[in-house]
Amino acid sequence: MKNIIYDDGVFLLNTKNTSYCFKVNDYLHLEHVHYGNRIEINDVDALTLKRSIAYGDSVLYEQGSQYCLDATCLEYGNVGRGDFKEDSILTNINIADFKFEDYEIVDGDVDPANLPNAYGADETLKVTLIDINLQLDLYYGLFYETDVITRRVVVTNVSNNSIHLNKVMSMCLDLTQDDLMLLDFTGAWSNEVNKNEKKIQTGTYVVSSNTGFSSNRTNPGFIIKKGHTDEFHGEAWGFNLIYSGSHYSSINKNDKGIVRINSGINYINFDYELNKDDSFYTPVVVLTYSDGGLNELSHHFHDFINENIVRGTYKKKERPILINSWEAYMFDYNKRKLLALANKAKDLGIELFVLDDGWFSTRNDDTSGLGDYNVNKKKLPGGIKALSNKIHELDMKFGLWVEPEAINPDSDLYRAHPDWAIEDNEYKTLYERNELLLDLTKSEVRDYIVENINKLIEDNNIDYIKWDMNRQLIGVSGKYDYEYIKGLYEVLDRIFKDKDVLFESCSSGGNRFDLGMLCYSPQIWSSDDTDAIERIKIQKNLSYLYPLSTMGAHVSASPSTAVLRKTPLNTRFNVACFGDLGYELDLNNLSSLEINEIKKQVEFYKQHRQTFQYGKFYRVESSDNKESFEVKLDETIVGKFRKLMNSSVGFDTLKVIDLKDGMYDITSRPFSINIETFGHLINFVLPFKVNTEGLLVKEVSKYKGLDSKQEHYVASSNALKQGIKLNNLYISSGYNEDVRLPLDFGSELYLIKEKKDNE
Ligand code: DGJ
């Protein structure tokens, strides 16, 4: 069945649950009519903004009419024709009046540009608009099942003169709903994706980055929702760019109540010269809508990313559990230490060993070596190959960290090719983490990277690459940022397209967590902040836009490097399992108790990995002190997280959202608690007195913990949806084995399985 319908000037694009509609109006402008729930083509007149009378301050498009562009919803903003909503395109000509010329509907994808794109569209619509100087081709990809529409624009110079493009948005969308809020996600290194909610009033709100990259400052993805919309109810519109460079989206509400959303590459300093017949291709923007609340909106994004963005061998494939050397040893390691770590990891059931930064050149800290690929023979006498062989002999996969876009001035590469680094010769060079970026707009630089990474992978049987990038792009203008990103995409395409290697991208953690990178790397290192309590926020907020399968999430040491917080091992796992699980700590420093716990964690994760990586994820409950996550495939798992304990705390419930009717068995994942947690209370249960701060308790705690009893409940789906009552929490006096003990920073995982008839 065709889901892009054209009928007498009206375009209606239907996905499973949404409709997107616009029409060619009497003035040949493309007038936006609706983006929301499914509608009929006959609804168009009723939904179009009326023009019974012109506003007094209008610039009339035609004398004697009531038509003015400022009070009209447009599919793409015109310039200098009385539309004072924010412009979607700017050129040196400063006037553009786009009129409908033609359209084409084709089955499947149409991809006119060499930029990453979604794939697997059911149909694609191209609408051509023409102005005196420019032609605009608006592309709409329809992804029926995931309720996604993609948009992009191709601008062509149809004049005889050269034109400077100074702004060209991938899409413009004029909404007429009132009471809207903007959710965007801002942050910094090690403090990514903080969710902000802003009421949209008259004026302009900007979601942008100018660091050269999609950035940890502001993720390109954002959400517009009705004021009352929550996780489970209400309307919301989601937007994200398939692009990794500086981006710009604006939400501009005018006095007539029209909210114009523009989204595309950052146009500040942008200058792209188009000669006669030249075209410029914008990146693609992804749009989705739901009237079932924010969780449902996120499900659209999740399904779409797993189905239509991530590609290659690891599409929908389970990701291996890894051990990464970074937080264990940083730069301070040798082959013996690494093999000891790998052996321990193997014992625990870990599947992939990743050697992080520090394996090459003189790289014993972050001041030198980037750009060079010669192995540090002091640390690794037999080279990477010998280590990789040893890891493979353990029947583990072998992964390697690289940072190919960067160069240290103290490197052989810089000494040989100083001109390959991005530096301004007139101004003093500014460094970030002692490094500069390589000029990826130069083909010889791209070739150098491709050749070296390909050689590394092939010579050393590498199964996984962690591709890092640790600085911002500064002091460039014009179209440089766009050309850099295109250069990067070309490099990634050449390296990874036909390889089975698992590629995890990283940029100081989550500084480039975007759909552009996900077209190449199925997973991204979410943050250098591996503190479990901080990670609840980071992974939860990423989940508004990205599925769990894309999030690298590791158990690290306690106290955490990030905030020096002590967090129970149980919670560190319970958070990291909502993502692609890894461990990033010195496993040889663990006590026997911790070793046993990790073995059980790894086993549990393997049994439920498909659910954790590809299940339907819900943000169930959230308050300052508590969070709960649910993930559902054939089984359901709920994680309940607590920050601080209260004395004499009240009852506690377990709420499960997505269950088909039936009876369910609910079991908690047992875990062990370090006995030091109980301080002087130990003396109340022991027949003799001990110094609770002393050596004896410390020693015993390495072997023996207090085991939580496995809770077991039986309940119907209806009871679970409402919330069943759990055993009491510790309440400051007394204890028996039915008392639950998720104390400060504590957490529990509950497994919910349907009861079979005869059970
Ligand atoms: C930044 C990354 O985010 C870390 O995980 C680690 O790989 C370091 N770089 C290594 O320098």
Q: What is the pLDDT at residue 36?
A: 98
**Has residue 224 got a pLDDT over 70?**
yes
Q: Residue with structure tokens 């014993």?
A: 364
Distance CA(425)–CA(725), nearest Å, equals: 68
484-487 long-range contacts (CB < 8 A, ≥24 apart) are 484/212, 484/245, 484/437, 484/439, 484/440, 484/441, 485/243, 485/244, 485/245, 485/516, 486/114, 486/115, 487/440, 487/441, 487/442, 487/445, 487/446
Distance 320 CA to ligand 1 centre (A): 19
Distance 242 CA to ligand 1 centre (A): 24
pLDDT band at 758 (very low <50, low <70, confident <90, very high): low
Q: What is the pLDDT at residue 165?
A: 97
Model confidence pLDDT, tens digit, residues 391-449: 999 999 999 999 999 999 999 999 999 999 999 889 999 999 999 999 999 999 999 99
CB proximity list for 684: less than 8 A, separation 6 or greater: none
Any atom of ligand 1 within 6 Å of the Cβ of 509 = yes
pLDDT band at 306 (very low <50, low <70, confident <90, very high): very high
Distance 338 CA to ligand 1 centre (A): 17
Lowest mean pLDDT among 220-224, 310-314, 677-681: 677-681
**Has residue 589 got a pLDDT over 90?**
yes
| Both tokens assigned to 683 | 């003396």
pLDDT band at 759 (very low <50, low <70, confident <90, very high): low
Measured from the CA of 433, which atom of ligand 1 is nearest? 11
Q: What is the pLDDT at residue 429?
A: 96
Model confidence pLDDT, tens digit, residues 448-505: 999 999 999 999 999 999 999 999 999 998 899 999 999 999 999 999 999 999 999 9
Rounded percentage of the chain residues whose pLDDT exceeds 90: 93
Which of 356, 403, 556 should be mutated for ligand 1, with most atoms under 8 A from CB?
A: 356
| Average pLDDT over every residue of 233-260 | 98
**Positions of E strands within 300-377:** 322-324, 352-355
SS3 content of the chain, % helix, strand, coil (to 5): 25, 35, 45
**Positions of E strands within 347-431:** 352-355, 397-402, 406-407
H or E element, residue 84: none
Closest CA to 263 of 202, 208, 314: 208
Any atom of ligand 1 within 6 Å of the Cβ of 435 = no
Any atom of ligand 1 within 6 Å of the Cβ of 326 = yes
Contact by Cβ (8 Å): 747, 642? yes
Q: What is the pLDDT at residue 373?
A: 98
Which residue owns the Cα nearest ligand 1 atom 9? 508
Any atom of ligand 1 within 6 Å of the Cβ of 288 = no
Q: Residue with structure tokens 């005196």?
A: 132
Model confidence pLDDT, tens digit, residues 315-361: 999 999 999 999 999 999 999 999 999 999 999 999 999 999 999 99
pLDDT band at 742 (very low <50, low <70, confident <90, very high): confident
What is the end-to-end Cα distance of the chain in Å, rounded? 44
DSSP label at residue 308 = I
Any atom of ligand 1 within 6 Å of the Cβ of 528 = yes
Any atom of ligand 1 within 6 Å of the Cβ of 508 = yes
Q: What is the pLDDT at residue 157?
A: 98
Averaged pLDDT of the chain = 96
User: What is the three-class DSSP state of 376?
Assistant: coil
The torsion defined by the Cα of 684, 689, 695 and 696, in degrees rounded to 10, comes to -80
CB proximity list for 458: less than 8 A, separation 6 or greater: none
Active site residues: 468, 528
Q: What is the pLDDT at residue 289?
A: 99
Q: What is the pLDDT at residue 540?
A: 98
